[in-house]
Amino acid sequence: MPSLKRILVTGGAGFLGSHLLRLLQHREAAVSVMNRASNPALEVPQLLISELDRVDQRFDVVFLLSAQVPYGGMGRFSESMIEANINLVARTVKA
């Protein structure tokens, strides 16, 4: 992996995000995580999605792994869930 300065992982507490986070930490990358809520189990700097518009940091790489999903991960996505996921990606890119 090339030398990376700052990495943001959205959904770092989820299944994929947590595994990626461990890999990046093992490679000693400077990682921050963005989740819906603070997670004391994560030992990295954390940002809240609700505060995305106020983020004053810039990242070299962003892994977008967060999404609003149907309860339990099963079932159909509603239009509002799809719209919320699209808006999150757009807000993240804009920030």
- Residues in CB range of 42: below 8 A, 6 or more apart: 12, 13, 21, 33, 35
Mean pLDDT of the residues in the chain = 77
**Residue of 10, 18, 7, 62 lying closest to 36 (CA atoms):** 10
Instruction: Please report the pLDDT score of residue 90 as a whole number.
Output: 72
Give the tens place of pLDDT for each residue, 39-77.
Answer: 888 888 877 777 776 666 778 888 888 766 666 656 666
The pTM score is: 0.68
DSSP 78: P
- Determine the Cα angle at 20 with ends 47 and 18, to 5°: 60
